[in-house]
Amino acid sequence: MKLRILLLAALLILLVSCSKTDFTVDSVQAQPYVCMDGRMGLSLYVTTSEGDEGSVQFSLRAPGGNLSWSLATNKVELDGWTYLGSSDICMPTGSMLPIGIWSLDVMYKDGSTVRKTFEVDYGDVQAAKEHFMSVDTDQAWYDSDENLTVLPLPEPVQESSDDSSDLPV
């Protein structure tokens, strides 16, 4: 009898020690962007039950399934919230960001995966770029009429004044 109770207690301890909390994705935030040079992309961030960017990866598919991305996430803290995601979801040069329902798999380090869908929609890209030019800023700017964030052109890289040509050979 004692052996049965001991085995039952050991089994109960084993079951309790193997239990884990469920990984959840609480919200998905997606924002399309356009650069002034015409490149388009998507900023995608989620809130999860796990705030460690090293433990979460994304697998993303555009509408139609022809384009996909697999990427690690970055951690961003804003207004007391921790977001995991990336702004490095870039379209091939000259391609528009697909409008429609996207599919996102958020994979946790233990192998569990949460699938979410979200919609990407935006207005006239050229109008957003023209609006950006009229506000006279050199910072990223959100055009609420077109639902696009417009990014300025990057600053040109300054060449260093290296006078190595004057050195003896």
Fold of 25-151: Immunoglobulin-like (2.60.40)
3-state secondary structure of 28: strand
In the chain, domain spans: 25-151
Q: pTM of the entire structure?
A: 0.75
- CA–CA separation, 109 and 107 (whole Å): 7
CA 64, 27, 36, 131 dihedral sign is positive
Residue identified by tokens 């039950």 is 49
pLDDT under 50 in the chain at which residues?
15-17, 19, 164-165, 167-169
In 3-state terms, what secondary structure has residue 100?
strand
Q: What is the pLDDT of residues 63-108, one digit of tens each?
A: 998 899 999 999 988 888 889 999 989 998 889 999 999 999 999 8
pLDDT at 139: 93
Residue 47's nearest CA partner among 71, 82, 87, 78 is 82
* pLDDT (0 to 100) of residue 111: 85
- Burial (0-12, 13-18, 19+ Cβ within 10 Å), 158: exposed
pLDDT for residue 3: 60
Helix, strand, coil percentages (3-state) for the chain, rounded to 5, are 20, 40, 40
